[in-house]
Chain A
Amino acid sequence: MTAALDIDRVSHSFGSVAALTDVSLHVPRGGFTALLGVNGAGKTTLFSLITRLYDNTSGTIRVAGHDLRRAPRQALARLGIVFQSRALDADLSVRQNLAYHAALHGIGRAEARVRIAEVLDQAGLTDKGGDRVSALSGGQTRRAEIARALIHRPDILLLDEATVGLDVKSRAEVLALTRRLIAEQGVSALWATHIMDEIQPDDDLVILHQGQILRRGRASNIAGRQGLTQAFLSLTGTPA
């Protein structure tokens, strides 16, 4: 079975500054992979390459088996993306935002209505569909962003620091929603974060630092006896 996301030897630079060097990672279908790195590690650059906001000129990126350079439309159609910054239109209602994003994937109005009800239910926002996004709390907005990312039934969700700026309760809700989607819907997720608490021992973990992958494997194996925080600090050479 093809992987949900396969990245092989991808590099990227901004002028003479290397942002990513020889990055390879693999997200299996129905799997949760955490991408851990401090701010500036290259997580957002990697997401920009996967979503084709930046052009990938070295290495290959495959989404559900589709090469991003050779078949960008098929690849993008299988990606659901939650950006770090707000991407919903605050002046429109949640339902209007979802209808817009359904249209951006060529989903007709009748079908979109069915899917909107479906994703609102999944995100626990059924009663908020008519509310303007500006009236939602931070946690509800992030869940609405996830609903938006699900509207076209993607194979994989990319979540770029999806819990940034949220309180503890909202963070837990967003993370729980993502894990539930994986368990119930079989969708895969690449979860970029710099918060150790969000990673569970059984998760696939990739540690990205200064544009390079330092370690990948099961989180509990990487953490070892010293714990994940200490292991991360040791690997990245960051003083505790």
Chain B
Amino acid sequence: MSGDRAFPAAAWATAFLGIARRETLRFVNQRGRFLAALVRPLVWLFIFAAGFRAVLGLSITPPYQTYVLYEVYVTPGLCAMIQLFNGMQSSLSMVYDRDTGAMRTLLVSPFPRWFLLASKLVAGVLVSIIQVYTFLAIAWFWDVQPPPWGYLAVLPALILSGLMLGAMGLFLSSTIRQLENFAGVMNFVIFPMFFASSALYPLWRMGESSTLLHDISAVNPFTHAVELIRFALYLQVNWLSLAVVLGFLAGFFAGAVFMYDPSKGLWARRKGKA
């Protein structure tokens, strides 16, 4: 496209780095956000997992080759939880930005919208990865010690799962009309997604009590984000989860780009909400 040729490659990199820098600065300036993002999974790990450890027996479940403590089992789910909440936080800030007008300054940039949205998405994922590694470092002292190379192997899984959950947040932000409606997203999206997944208990365990719940959890993209992280942390690839995460990432991102497109999406047509 002629417009694309108007910018040299360095200008695209500058725009991406500018968006990433802004997200990082916002994150650094909001120390409470970092603390909250960290405290949430740590509470689950230190308190919830300690309680569940006593009542929930786990047989050997791939990728684990031996019996593992419940804290070990739940850690990948909590990593994904950090990314889920980060994606929603990002979505919330986009709705807020839209209300205040900051979103407009992003969208009136001469760069194409797919690029602007993708840059914002990637920047948000980078922030979530910092949070996850901080959490994993603390969890190490709680005897959650995956193989050393697992910390490196999990990085691509965290990028992909973070992108998928961030793209979902981006898509949701385009459908929310008012900031007040965001509470509905918590109740109808985040909690069902988290609890109906393999984050807290293996799917076979869930199947023992409800086949329907098992089936719902099996198609839940969050389950596959968790499993992708779990397997990667133990130096394995769960190919099915990888395919599902990639598929949902493409779907959510395409949906977000469509919704934010002034000629196609629904969002821009809403009077006074641009």
Contact = CB atoms under 8 A, between A and B. Distances in A.
B100 A87 contact: yes
Given A44-B272, A106-B15, A83 B110 contact: no
B263 A71 contact: no
Interface in B259-274: 261-263, 268-272, 274
B244 to A, nearest CB: 34
A148 B21 contact: no
A103 interface: yes
A226 interface: no
Contacts of A73: 3-4, 6-7, 110-112
B15 A104 contact: yes
A36 interface: no
Nearest to A79: B108
A206 B256 CA distance: 37
B183 interface: no
Contact of B108 (A51, A74, A108): A51
A168 interface: no
Interface in B143-167: none
A52 to B, nearest CB: 6
Nearest to B116: A104
Contact of B263 (A45, A55, A87): A55
Contacts, number: 122
A65 to B, nearest CB: 14
A106 B30 contact: no
B68 to A, nearest CB: 41
B26 A92 contact: yes
Nearest to A106: B11
Contacts of B192: none
Interface SS majority for chain B: helix
Contacts of A107: 11, 14
Contacts of A99: 18, 21
B14 A109 contact: yes
A71 B3 contact: yes
Interface string A81-104: 101111111011000100111111
Given A52-B108, A54-B269, A77-B6, A106 B12 contact: yes
B101 interface: yes
Interface in A30-72: 44-45, 48, 51-55, 57, 71-72
A208 to B, nearest CB: 16
B102 A87 contact: yes
Interface of B: 2-4, 6-8, 10-12, 14-15, 17-19, 21-22, 25-26, 29-30, 99-102, 104-112, 116, 261-263, 268-272, 274
27 contacts: A14-B271, A17-B271, A55-B262, A71-B2, A72-B110, A73-B3, A73-B6, A74-B6, A76-B109, A85-B99, A87-B104, A91-B25, A96-B22, A100-B21, A100-B22, A101-B105, A103-B19, A104-B106, A104-B109, A106-B7, A106-B8, A106-B14, A106-B15, A106-B110, A106-B111, A107-B14, A109-B14
* 4 A-B pairs with least C-beta separation: A103-B18, A106-B11, A73-B3, A85-B101
Given A73-B3, A106-B10, 9 more contacts: A14-B270, A54-B262, A55-B262, A71-B3, A86-B100, A96-B25, A99-B18, A100-B21, A106-B14
